[in-house]
Amino acid sequence: MTEAEFDAFLTEISECFFAKDFKLWADRIVLPFSVVTQYGPIVSHTLKELEADFNLYLEACHTMKLDLVHRTPLSIEHCEDGTVICTYRTELLSHGQRMTEPFTSSALVKNVDGCWRMTAILNARGHSSWTGHVPHQPKDATT
């Protein structure tokens, strides 16, 4: 992954929420997809679960009246197995004002059929703080 590809990837995963374009989001994901927050992992095993979580993020954007999610690339680490760890800083803005403190996340990304796709995001900011919805739990939550 080049810096230009990373920047384009971050733009796409930000714009899909404002365009309400689940297909664009899903096209950048490999299932099962893990989002690890400070409260634990949220795993989407199916497109239906992924779409339900996407819709909760849309609700969070609406609740906070977001008009810009700005992601700044910080680093790209190429791993020996062909995956890439991409670290970036996210700012959630409404009319130019930050709605939360900026936060840093890392995504595990791999190239699938010529397209960069995420398998996991670490240190993600979950939507539950803004939506009040508890995310679905992994299917094997008892283990």
Say which CATH number the domain at 33 has. Answer: 3.10.450.50
Question: Has residue 141 been placed in a domain?
Answer: no
For the chain, the domain total comes to 1
Question: Has residue 140 been placed in a domain?
Answer: no
Question: Has residue 36 been placed in a domain?
Answer: yes
Cα dihedral 56→99→76→120 (10° resolution): -20
Which pLDDT score, from 0 to 100, does residue 126 have? 52
Q: What is the pLDDT of residues 58-96, one digit of tens each?
A: 988 888 898 888 999 999 999 999 999 999 999 999 998
Give the range of the structural domain holding residue 24, as residue numbers without chain letter.
3-131
Question: Has residue 60 been placed in a domain?
Answer: yes
